[in-house]
Amino acid sequence: MTFRLGHRHNGVQMGNGMFLGMLTSISSIVILAGIQIGSLGMAWRLLVLLSLAACLSCGKNERWNVVLVTFDTTRADYIGCYGNENIQTPIVDRLAAEGVLFEHAYTPVPITLPSHSTMMTGKNPFSHGIRDNGLFVLGENQLTLAEILKARGYRTAAAVASFPLTSKFGINQGFDLFDDILATPYQDLYGRRIFPKERLFFDERKAARVNEALLPWLEENHHEPFFLWAHYFDPHHPHEPPPPYNQLYAHDPYAGEIAYADESFGVLIDNLKRLGVYDKTLIIFTSDHGEGNGEHNESTHSLLLYNATLHVPLVIKAPGGAEGRRVSQRVGTVDLFPTVLEFLGMTSADDIQGQSLLGLLKKDGSVKVPESPLYAETLSPRLSQNWGELRALFEGDYKYIHGPRPELFDITRDPRELNDLSQVEPEIAASLRANLQDYLANNAVHGLDSSTVLDEETAERLMALGYIQSSGAKVGPIEEVLRQDGTPPQDRVGDNSAYSMAKTFLFQGKFVEAQELLQDLLTSDPGNPHYLEMAANAELMVGNHDQALDLLEQLKTISQEYVPPERLLNAMGGIFSQQKKWPQALERYQESQALKATAEGQYMLSQIHGALNQQHEWLRCLENSLSIDAHYVPARLDLAIQLAGSGDLAGAETEFKRAMADQPYHARSFFNYGAFLVQQQSFKQAIPYFERAIALKSDYLGAYQSLVDLHSGLGERVRAEYYYSILKGLAPHSKETRIAQSLLEVDQ
């Protein structure tokens, strides 16, 4: 068998692509006064009233578990039990058959962090303070569901799958385990990303990785009452379902990602059943928001308040509760917090805006829940685009959307909101406007400031993704009034959709299509820094290096605040690297590092020195990279490879293992350690590492070739042919497939 570490060329690691009951039968009331809730050092105390009451199963001495599963960006009409016959979601469908399906459930905001903050606090955004992704932090003065349950002896765990829900934004409050380890983006020499979502989309991890984080904890803690939250981000754009869903839903990758998330949900359900706790668990399935999918000219979400992005699926299975019931009453995800607490025999605080849906879960259906007005908002058009903001109120048959161009819809007769009635029925529009204003006056927390001063890394990432306009942005208190200033988001959302499509094209490798879209966008808005930077990327990827440099020069003159000079220098260095103009590339990266030394920048310098066969400088820059960030895995991997090549096997093994521990979702770490084991003739021990590399990166051709080689050499012909068949299906004309085929032919 023949192996070598890395897939190196001239000393350079090559990448490809671009840059988420507490019940006893006691009738007494327990008051926990002055209990410290939350983390040590919190400067406030809460008075929590927790009463013990009868449960759905009437008198059993149980402490029910709670499982919350949220599919990100999932429309209700993309779930089988909601009437979609073109998608397979058997797990959610079965849960609906065993519980209650809410046909008309709505989120108060079509944005990930504020929507989940509502679920965790039972408050609308104007009361918990989170109004957009990245710009706000959930304050310690907010009492979360996890904190309440933890105070009552529950084990609490969550695993989230995307950057907006990481612990830096405060949503982790009250969780014993909060796993937010995501795929980390790294560059190769040419400025391309091994995980190419960076600078295009939020970092994320697959649903299987979320389960991987939660299931060991569940195994260890299921003997005690627990609250578990699993967040599956997969349906969020860009849509890239894993096999076999990429083939089964080639016509609709968005549906494929939902189907894949459903399968992962099934793995969690199966483990609940295996551990004997499924029937003792309140299970809630919902989504934070839907997806525009082109309706009202919005391809994604966050900028408009139509039901395409506000209507979400909601299914609740309660022990001893109703089975197979469908509820037509309009409800909100703001209602989940009080529903859970009442089911567990606890009362909510007075400042909760939702209402308990427990009566709708009861088997006999004897308790009715009044239908109350629902509020919705998106301030993101103003915060991220400098357009106008939108607020809405659902009341009766109508929905009123207030903003620079107010709209009124009869959502009973016109569920897709195609017929604006604001001019036809002005009295109703005026009445709902007044009711919305009163709702804000009576319910909003005025003067609340949950905005945050962004650290440099977060600010740069959010600017690149179009969430903020400058690195110094701090939103400050939001004025809770009805505003009509600014550009109507309905008029400009098409530009944002085109920009999102251009990013998707870049991610998919459709560089010419991205180039054409971005040229059109720059024609209409020539000074837009987002468009200029993306256009430079597109020109680079089609080989137009000079045009890419020209666009970067334009960007440099427009806004150094939007794009720090060191980032522009890095981008220019990447272009020169792609042209193999090593002296120019070296000069740009050295200029960049003089302005701001970074682990990534030092690593890029090491790669250029490697290409120039300057071994001493190569090693010095690697060491510099790790001195800046000891967890920067590409530098540690190169160091491990260097140690292995020099004969320091013990040192190499230490570095390989640290790389895998520091970044457990970096496929190349596992591949290279597997290759290292093969060099030590530890053939069987190497197999799990190549398998792990494939689990993390399903198209890792080198790992498939290595498994064919190993199993063939070990006389395991069937396994070798199995991996060869996958490899051939992925890339029939690749070098790896040809090598694997020759290995099997020799083995015959």
- For every residue of 256-302, DSSP letters joined together read HHHHHHHHHHHHHHHHHHHTT-GGGEEEEEEES----TTGGG-SSSS
* Average pLDDT taken over every residue of the chain: 86
What the chain holds in terms of domains, given with CATH numbers, is: 29-378 (3.40.720.10)
What is the C-alpha to C-alpha distance for residues 90 and 83, in angstroms, rounded to an integer? 13
Q: Which of 153, 151, 141, 261 is nearest to 207 (CA)?
A: 261
Report the pLDDT value the prediction gives residue 467, as an integer from 0 to 100: 52
Quote the tokens at residue 367.
């308790």
User: Tokens 């919190």 map to which residue?
Assistant: 42
Q: How far apart are CA 364 and CA 696, in angstroms?
A: 47
The Cα 713–Cα 747 span in angstroms is 8
pTM of the model: 0.85
Q: Count CA atoms closer than 13 A to 374's CA, side-chain side.
A: 28
Across the range 268-282, mean pLDDT stands at 98
pLDDT in tens, 9-43: 333 232 322 222 222 222 222 222 222 333 333 33
Q: Which of 201-205, 695-699, 723-727 has the lowest mean pLDDT?
A: 201-205
| pLDDT bracket for residue 566 (50, 70, 90) | confident
d(CA 665, CA 147): 29
pLDDT band at 54, cuts 50/70/90? very low
Distance of CA 592 to the CA centre of its chain: 30
Q: Which residue has the tokens 């290595």?
A: 706
Q: pLDDT at residue 267 above 90?
A: yes
Contacts 24+ apart (CB under 8 A), 250-254: 252/86, 252/87, 254/78, 254/291, 254/293
Query: Cα(574)–Cα(578) distance, rounded to whole angstroms?
Result: 6
- Name the amino acid, one letter, at 168: K
657-661, long-range: CB within 8 Å, 24+ apart, which pairs? 659/633
> How far apart, in Å, are the Cα atoms of 234 and each of 45, 160, 222?
38, 11, 26
Residues 6+ apart with CB under 8 A from 149: 22, 66, 156, 174, 227, 344
Burial 198-225 (b: 16+ CB within 10 A, else e): bbbbbbbbbbbbbbbbbbebbeebbeeb
pLDDT of residue 210: 97
The span from the CA of 425 to the CA of 414, in Å, is 15
Q: In DSSP terms, which residues pair with 392 in a beta bridge? A: 376, 401
Band (pLDDT 50/70/90 cuts) for residue 571 is confident
Pick the more confident residue, 428 or 201: 428
**Pairwise CA distance, residues 419 & 441, whole Å:** 29
One DSSP character per residue, 667-681 reads HHHHHHHHHHHHHTT
Q: Indicate whether 203 pLDDT > 80.
A: no
Please report where in the chains the tokens 């080989």 appear, as a residue: 543
